[in-house]
Amino acid sequence: MSKIFLYPKPDKLLGTPNPYIKNFQEAILQNHDLVNETAPNRGVLNLFLYFFRTEVYIFNWIEFLPEKRFGKLQSFGLVILILLARLFGKKIIWILHNKNSHHKRKNIWTDSLFQLMMRSSHKIITHSNAGLDFVKSSFPKFSHKVDVIIHPVSAMFDLTPVNEKAYDFIIWGTIFPYKGIDKFLKFLRESPSKAKYKILLVGKCFDENYKKTLEDLLTDNVVFYDQMFDLEMIAEFSNQSKFTLFTYKSDTVISSGSLIDAIRMGSVIIGPNHAAFKDLSSYSFLKTYNSFEEIFAIHDEYVPSSKLEKERVDFCEANSWEIFMRKLEIIIKE
């Protein structure tokens, strides 16, 4: 049993009810001591308060640290903590989710943290081959530290299939500019032949200016619910749609928790031909595109595969949180 500190806490992720940390915490607790399980959220300060109780640090989303409250001060604190952890022989596992922050341009703070984590991590875990490629190209001398493990997945949602779908596509999740939704809506508006397709856009947009941009681009066949829904409700929406569509255009994306949750929802997924979407494109439940035009060709030509449901179930079983923790435990012991 290892004494693990998991960062960040599950209640303070940036702008979205991302279940990843909550699921990670529950998986750790099956066989390990999570030293900060009940700790109030004090940011980087907790790293120091639990220092002597911790054997292994597991870090997620370090790229967002400079954007948090007192972000520069917290970033400086992290540097000190990492140096102390190395001095005292504590292991550092870094889960590399993105190539940079989705929300800010490259800056010296984020770049410095990436350099620090590359140098100081015992192991770097990424959920897509794009993460390994990124390290090989940008930090080649640290590529030997990288292990690729598919993003863990929770159990399938229990849904009764709907034969008559209300929508052709659903786009869901907290809305940020990096997801490229405005570009897709602009393409729709400028393509009269696509007016027949019904689209459901579900997700809270916290940026009022960006929301106004989206609203100005809506057509008669696009329904927009600017609300935060739990995953169970989103699964119900997804069940009413022929395809779950991802319009990501950002180069920062390596893996996608929303993609994994869409698989749990029984969706047939259409996503961009890069990162985790490309990795999983051999499965019958996921189709990839290189241009928006291809999305509609996939829709019109799609024929369900007889192996689709078995592949989906097998995928979820082979990449469960339990399996992920077994792999991670081996890596921690190396």
Q: State the CATH number of the domain containing residue 8.
A: 3.40.50.2000
In a domain, 277, yes or no: yes
Residues 118 and 240 in one domain: no
Q: How confident is residue 15, by pLDDT bands cut at 50, 70 and 90?
A: very low
CA separation for the pair 59, 89 (Å, rounded): 16
Q: Is the pLDDT of residue 102 over 80?
A: no
Q: 33-60 burial, b for 16+ CB within 10 Å, e for fewer?
A: ebbbeeeeeebbebbeeebeebbbbbbb
Co-location of 244 and 328 in the same domain: no
214 and 326 fall within a common domain: no
Q: Is 106 helix (H, G, I), strand (E, B) or coil?
A: coil
pLDDT at site 13: 44
Task: Give the mean pLDDT of 293-303.
Answer: 97
The per-residue pLDDT for 103 is 58
What's the pLDDT score for residue 16?
46
186 shares a domain with 141: no
Confidence of residue 41 (pLDDT cuts 50, 70, 90): confident
* Same domain, yes or no: 324 and 292: no
- Asked if the structure places residue 159 within a domain, the reply is no
Structural domain total, the chain: 2
Is 162 a member of any domain? no
Give domain status of residue 198, yes or no. Answer: yes
Q: What is the model's pTM?
A: 0.92
For the chain, what is the mean pLDDT?
Answer: 93
Looking at residue 122, its pLDDT comes to 97
- Containing structural domain, residue 20: 3-152+319-333
Query: Which range among 94-98, 157-161, 278-282, 323-327 shows the weakest confidence by mean pLDDT?
Result: 157-161
pLDDT tops 50 at residue 69 = yes
Say if 140 falls within a structural domain.
Answer: yes
191-240: pLDDT as tens digits: 999 999 999 999 999 999 999 999 999 999 999 999 999 999 999 999 99
Pick from 143, 178, 141: nearest CA to 63? 178
Please check whether residue 243 is in contact with residue 270, taking contact to mean a CB–CB distance below 8 angstroms: yes
The pair of three-digit structure tokens given for residue 297, joined into one six-digit string = 């060709």
Q: Coil, strand, or helix at residue 302? A: coil
Backbone Cα Rg of the chain: 21
